[in-house]
Structure 1
Amino acid sequence: MTLFPPTHADAAALLAFELDNRRFFEATINARPAGYYGLDGVQASISSAMADAMVDRGYQYLLKDDNGTILGRANLSAVKRAHFHSAVLGYRIAESACGKGCASEAVRQLLGIAFGKLRLARIEADCRIDNLASARVLLRNGFVQFGHSRRSFEHGGGWHDRLHFECHAPRG
């Protein structure tokens, strides 16, 4: 499994990934806009990701297996440079790839990029309090919980708590 920045050549496969997993993702996170779920929407999203990377605002990656099949997505958003050198990590893994170490591997590789090539110093992440698998992925990759926000995320007509995590670049 390897992370790759998305390109326009990935659009059809990325659309298939999103459509195949839409119901699974939307069970725990808010839905993307309806316009996203078409080839034009995915192409626009890839263009936006490329533009964000060009101006150091955010970085998106696709997790692919050895056959080039998309297993998941991982990203760094809200990049802050001056005085912070930080970003926020997010990821989503295909339902069929859950429980196989894909999320842990995606986060491990993304931290390597963040603390290496991108020279970031701090990465934050959060997950719903009931998402124990995601919390384990973060802890397994060196994140430490630093907070718990109550009723901070609305989904499906209800409010949910979130756990907040941080990971710092190794000192060297």
Structure 2
Amino acid sequence: MRALLGVFLLAALLSGCSRSHVTHMSLPVLPGWYNGEQVYYLTTDISDAQMATVMQANYVPRLANALPDMPGPHPLATYDRVYKFVDDSQASVFPSIPLPLGGDNHDTAYSPLWHVYEVRWLSGTPGSPLRSADAVLQAQEQGLVSVRASGIIVNCPVVAVGEQRLQ
């Protein structure tokens, strides 16, 4: 009897998630890179008012609360880094994506929340495109780019990887 009641309650709860009332809309996606592969993402929310205006996203100051007060790595953080080239010389670089895209994602490192790290070419002229987080960090070690934490949190879910798209 308990099992039957549990199944009934689960069915009732999931009925609120029904796709029968799905409305489609068109949103701009931006290109990015992950380990040499092109990805596409949405920018929906940003903790910085000026960046939110420029990106035509929601200004959400509470997102800044995701950043801890202390410096250093934070293994339990709900965000990861995203490398944003401040001169827009190339697309942003992501260190993780959902693998595979969709409900079967098994990459526990992925989160749609990102701490923006600003990347600047030190020569003033963009070098070869950097298409992975490792390439960005190697370029930093070689003195080709500077990388700086901005203190800005963005909500940018990855919605396409190569030919695979969320439906």
> TM-score higher than 0.5 here?
no
Greater share of helix residues, 1 or 2?
1
The structure that has the greater radius of gyration is: 2
State TM-score, norm by structure 1: 0.26
State TM-score, norm by structure 2: 0.26
- Which structure has more RCO (C-alpha within 8 Å, separation ≥ 6)? 2
